[in-house]
Amino acid sequence: MHRVELADLNKTFKNKAAVKDVTVCLEHGVYGLLGENGAGKTTLMRMFCGILEPTSGSILCDGMPIRQMGGDYHMLLGYLPQEFGYYKDFTALRFLNYMAALKALPEEYARNRIEELLELVGLQADRKNKLKTFSGGMIRRIGIAQALLNDPEILVLDEPTSGLDPGERVRFRNIISSLGKNRIVLLSTHIVSDVEYIADNILLMKDGRLIYAGDASRMLAEAEGCVWKCLVPEPEVPALEQQYMISNLRPHASQVELRVISRIKPAPNAEPAEAALEDAYLYLLNKMAEV
Ligand X SMILES: Nc1ncnc2c1ncn2[C@@H]1O[C@H](COP(=O)(O)OP(=O)(O)OP(=O)(O)O)[C@@H](O)[C@H]1O
Site for Mg ion, rule CB under 5 A: 41-42, 82
Least separation in angstroms between residue 139's CB and ligand X is 17
Segment interacting with ligand X (CB under 6 A) among 35-43, 101-109, 165-173, 234-242: 35-43
Buried b (16+ CB within 10 A) or exposed e, 114-149: beebbebbebeebbeeebeebeeebbbbbbbbbbbb
Give 246: exposed, middle or buried? Use CB within 10 Å, 0-12, 13-18, 19+: middle
Residue 35 interaction partner, one of Mg ion, ligand X, another protein, none, beta carbon < 5-8 Å per kind:
ligand X
> How far is residue 144's CA from residue 131's CA, in Å, rounded to a whole number?
14
Say if residues 129 and 92 touch (Cβ distance below 8 Å). Answer: yes
Residue 39 interaction partner, one of Mg ion, ligand X, another protein, none, beta carbon < 5-8 Å per kind:
ligand X
- Sole binder of another protein in the list 84, 130, 137, 163 (CB under 8 A): 84
- Sole binder of another protein in the list 106, 167, 233, 268 (CB under 8 A): 106
Q: Which is nearer to Mg ion, 46 or 141 (CB)?
A: 46
Say if residues 90 and 98 touch (Cβ distance below 8 Å). Answer: yes
Question: Is residue 82 close enough to count as binding ligand X by CB under 6 A?
Answer: yes
In 3D, which of 210, 170, 166 has the Cα closest to residue 32?
210
Question: Is residue 85 close enough to count as binding another protein by CB under 8 A?
Answer: yes
Question: Is residue 161 close enough to count as binding ligand X by CB under 6 A?
Answer: no
Segment interacting with ligand X (CB under 6 A) among 39-47, 116-124, 248-256, 276-284: 39-47
Dihedral, CA of residue 45, residue 218, residue 244 and residue 273, to nearest 10: 140
Q: Which is nearer to another protein, 79 or 134 (CB)?
A: 79
Contacting residues for 13 by C-beta, under 8 A, at least 6 apart: none
Q: Which residues lie across from 16 on neighbouring strands? A: 13
> How far is residue 280's CA from residue 78's CA, in Å, rounded to a whole number?
30
Q: Which is nearer to ligand X, 175 or 191 (CB)?
A: 191
The distance in angstroms from the start CA to the end CA of the chain is 38
Segment interacting with another protein (CB under 8 A) among 44-52, 133-141, 170-178, 185-193: 44-52
In what helix (H) or strand (E) does residue 177 lie, and over which residues does it extend?
helix 166-179
Question: Is residue 97 close enough to count as binding ligand X by CB under 6 A?
Answer: no
Identify residues 47-76 at the interface with another protein (CB under 8 A): 49-53, 70-71, 74-75
Positions that interact with ligand X (CB under 6 A):
13, 16, 18, 35, 37-43, 82
**Interface ranges with another protein (CB under 8 A):** 46, 49-53, 70-71, 74-75, 77-79, 81, 83-87, 89-90, 94, 97-107, 109, 113, 146, 150-151, 156
